[in-house]
Structure 1
Amino acid sequence: MSLYKARIKEFDELLSENVIDIRKLRRLCFNGIPDCNGYRALCWKILLGYLGTKKQDWTNLLQKKRQLYKQFINEMAIPPGADNSITTDHPLSDGPESAWSTFFKDNEFLLQIDKDVRRLCPDISFFQQATEFPCEEIVRSNGIRRLHTRVTPSTLSSANVERKGLGLTKINLIKKSSHESYEAMEEGSEAHWEVVQRILFLYAKLNPGLGYVQGMNEIIGPIYYVLASDPNIENRQFAEADSFFCFTALMGEIRDFFIKTLDESESGIKKKMAQLSAMLKEKDAEVWHRLEQQNLYPQYYSFRWLTLILSQEFPLPDVVRLWDSIFSDENRFDFLVRVCCAMIILLRTQLLESDFATNVKLLQHFPETDINVVLSKAAVL
């Protein structure tokens, strides 16, 4: 039997148990989850704590969570009065109880979400494609609840008109800029980026203490991609709701990275960067000393690495493989630090030979590398 088939058999046997052995699951997933049978989508749901280890509880839990998410959409993704209900609230009211005041404040962070999700993973076409399961609540509303319509102005054709003397008029059409490539689908359809936009909007509404912080789109992107690619049609149908709760669970662990006032705390981002620096000093003192000499501190490059769980440093398939290991590690964000340390050490030759400007550029734009090499180095560390 091939090694790949043997691994599939291991996953089959483990996931068929009535009670999943979480330690064994972690060990299996740490070495990568096979790209078949929906293993990754299911394992991520378990590893992120969305699903428990008792299979008998799954059906009831999923039904409740998916119904709850539908309720969130009905309550929060609709403008005041758009559901034909009578409202005495005036659109210009700025009182704390005003639904219209809340609506316009929501649009402020929705504008940033809209910009971010439209440029999500531009190297692949997945997020620009139509989902096979557009949200029924949105479709039935004839576009009223489509979030992007609240912040995206209608595009009008424009042109420059030039007239020279009594001659002919010259009209130069102005072309659309390239950032408009993530177009919204026609009514009745939705692109995957529109689904991600709704997830982030609802998360921000439900977590007003944190709201939406730029970069969260890079966290939800891989989660939604994995769940929306599940070969099980029922799971794909509810990928939006399941992704929302998986994202919420993950953010529960890393939200402090996004809160500036907690930067100095034990759970803050500066603590993680200090942990990375200390590990580099222990594992490769020469490289650490070189970066210290150049005043090239971790905040110049590792802030993004750590807060976004390396989602912008590698292509999406590599990020997905990387997250298999990070999610399955019991101290998963300690392993994330080891991966970051491994990335630096793999560049030791260039870092020791280059000046400050070259090294900053090298670390901020990590060169194309086999993700398995990075993971192997991290595992050794």
Structure 2
Amino acid sequence: MEPVEVEGSSSGRGLSGVDKYELDWRNILTIANDRTLYDLRHMAVRGDLRASPFRSLCWAVFLDALKPPSSEWVKQREAHREDYLQLKDRYMLNPHLNTDGSDDPLSQSSESLWNQHFCDQELCAVIKQDVVRTFPGVDFFRKAPIQAMMTNILFCYARRYPTMCYRQGMHEILAPLIFVIHSDQQAMAHIQELDPTVDSNLVTILNPSHLEEDSFSIFSQIMDRIASFYRITDLVPTATGYFPAVAATTTPASPPAELTGTTVPVKRKPEIEVVEQLNYIKDKILIKEDLHLHNHLLKLDIPLAIFGIRWLRLLFGREFALQDLLLLWDAIFGEGEQLSLVNYIVVAMLIRIRDKLIYSDYTTCLTYLMRYPTNVDISLIIKHALHMKAPKIYERPAGAMIYVSSPSTRRPLPQPVMRSKNIEMDYLKYSTLPNVHQKRQQVQEHPLQAPRSSSDERHRTSSLPRNVGGSSVRKASAY
């Protein structure tokens, strides 16, 4: 059965808002039952979820928070909600309810209910400091009930996964998610007011009273896939959520200590897993897609970790406006379960502002990377990232490698330097421009060309630039 187009469908024209909503719902149910999710993923990567009232459900399907068949979604949602409520009962303890009076509030024992309560309070205070600063320009996140929900979700996640606990930045992963789920739930509630006979399964799945539980379910799935962005080797958080600055690890003991069979604790710098991923992006993807830009960043000694850790940990949340970010997340979640598209988005973002970076010094270049320009076309970044990841499936978008600089801001190009003949010929072999020797031979072989004297030839060749053809300069400005 061919799926009905969610946007731009001729069959949906002329329908009332309620009828169009129900048509879209039936379409989602149909294409979500395909275990490959081909059509649903295609909708996401091409931007068709932009105005969909079921975006959060599509994300849940992509992230395995809801699994086919769609007839089981109600049971799955109810199970996830019950699981979260049990978590809250288990971890949100109230020591005042302890009636036997045996627990001392001053106890430092790990078994003490009061001690755990104080640790929980300190962790919640850390979380709230971040939550209240979430998307300061969006009124939705200034609401006290929303901030309380976010704090509860992040606290329960920290307690369920103590080795991850809470890390700064997680609140900016949760924020767009809870915004999208809330929007979908409110859309359903509005439709229900207009038509009380709307599908009862849909009413259950998008019940506005379960915003907190449903957000936790999908948030946990996202964090499961990006945990490596936050994980730091050999560092374990304290019960209050703080991470020590340096890990204390053991190394082989010095010879005198070896005689007693002891080891000596030595402070060493922990390894941040996301840095390894950024090095992979630089050395395997960026160098292949844009060697010139790769070398420029290398020359300026700007590692991708300076800006890339934030890009990945927040899934680019601070680099784009909220609506553009949601389109980007559609593509990230829809393209594949492991979210590997993020590697190519990093490169696409760099190439998009390549012309600004390539002619900038260290300070200016870093400014662009830390404060990504706002006038960038998000759809072009998505299309370019998809093409780099799967060039046989996605076409190269028009203009993906074309850059234009203002003459007033462009720095003068360096003068050509002497290169060895082998390097020169090897470069010209891959150039699409004919070199000087090829042009000369074409002219000499032309039937109307008069033979040159030896003195004319010497005079002509002496006037040529020493760097034959200057192709390297043209190549650098033609990306």
TM-score, normalising length from structure 1? 0.77
Q: Deviations over 1:344-373 (max 9, x none)?
A: 111111111110011011101101022112
Q: Deviations over 1:179-207 (max 9, x none)?
A: xxxxx4xxxxx2x1211111001111111
Aligned: 1:346 with 2:346: no
Q: Deviations over 1:267-303 (max 9, x none)?
A: 9312320222021111011111111101111111111
Q: Which has the larger radius of gyration?
A: 2
Task: Tell me the residue number matched to 1:119.
Answer: 133
Task: Tell me the residue number matched to 1:261.
Answer: 233
Q: CA RMSD in A?
A: 2.7
- Please state how far the C-alpha of 1:23 moved relative to its aligned partner: 2.5
- Please state how far the C-alpha of 1:24 moved relative to its aligned partner: 2.4
- Please state how far the C-alpha of 1:334 moved relative to its aligned partner: 2.4
Task: Tell me the residue number matched to 1:175.
Answer: none
- Residue identity over aligned pairs, in percent, reads 28
- Please state how far the C-alpha of 1:68 moved relative to its aligned partner: 2.3
Aligned: 1:15 with 2:18: no
Pair 87,48 (structure 1): closer, same or farther in 2 beyond 3 Å = farther
Which of 214, 225, 228 is the matching residue for 1:242?
214
CA distance in 2, matches of 1:365, 1:125: 23
Which of 252, 277, 280 is the matching residue for 1:275?
280
CA distance in 2, matches of 1:60, 1:197: 26
CA distance in 2, matches of 1:61, 1:320: 25
| Count of residue pairs brought into register by the alignment | 320
Native 8 Å contact 1:92 1:100 kept in 2: yes
Task: Tell me the residue number matched to 2:342.
Answer: 336
Give the alignment of 1:160-239 within 5 angstroms. 184=144, 190=145, 192-230=146-184, 231-233=187-189, 234=203, 235=206, 236-239=208-211
CA distance in 2, matches of 1:216, 1:32: 25
Task: Tell me the residue number matched to 1:65.
Answer: 80
Task: Tell me the residue number matched to 1:308.
Answer: 314
CA distance in 2, matches of 1:72, 1:117: 20
Native 8 Å contact 1:116 1:214 kept in 2: yes
Task: Tell me the residue number matched to 1:97.
Answer: 111
Which of 224, 239, 247 is the matching residue for 1:252?
224
1:277 partner amino acid: K
Task: Tell me the residue number matched to 1:170.
Answer: none
- Please state how far the C-alpha of 1:209 moved relative to its aligned partner: 1.4
Native 8 Å contact 1:89 1:99 kept in 2: yes
Aligned: 1:377 with 2:384: yes
Q: Deviations over 1:217-273 (max 9, x none)?
A: 011111111111112235222121011011111111111221110799999312320
- Please state how far the C-alpha of 1:86 moved relative to its aligned partner: 4.5
- Please state how far the C-alpha of 1:46 moved relative to its aligned partner: 0.6
CA distance in 1, matches of 2:234, 2:66: 29
Which of 294, 298, 313 is the matching residue for 1:288?
294
CA distance in 2, matches of 1:47, 1:336: 15
- Please state how far the C-alpha of 1:304 moved relative to its aligned partner: 0.8
Task: Tell me the residue number matched to 1:362.
Answer: 368
CA distance in 1, matches of 2:312, 2:104: 44
Pair 2,270 (structure 1): closer, same or farther in 2 beyond 3 Å = closer
- Please state how far the C-alpha of 1:98 moved relative to its aligned partner: 0.4
- Please state how far the C-alpha of 1:338 moved relative to its aligned partner: 0.8
CA distance in 1, matches of 2:271, 2:386: 25
Does 1 or 2 have the higher relative contact order (CA < 8 Å, sep 6+)? Answer: 1
- Please state how far the C-alpha of 1:41 moved relative to its aligned partner: 1.2
CA distance in 1, matches of 2:41, 2:341: 13
Task: Tell me the residue number matched to 2:329.
Answer: 323
Task: Tell me the residue number matched to 1:28.
Answer: 43
- Please state how far the C-alpha of 1:108 moved relative to its aligned partner: 2.7
User: What are the ranges of 5 or more consecutive residues in structure 2 without an aligned counterpart?
Assistant: 13-22, 190-202, 236-268, 389-479
1:49 partner amino acid: D
Greater shift, 27-36 or 323-332, is seen at 27-36
- Please state how far the C-alpha of 1:31 moved relative to its aligned partner: 1.4
CA distance in 2, matches of 1:68, 1:203: 12
1:249 partner SS: helix
Aligned: 1:41 with 2:56: yes
Task: Tell me the residue number matched to 1:137.
Answer: none
User: What are the ranges of 5 or more consecutive residues in structure 1 without an aligned counterpart?
Assistant: 130-183, 185-189
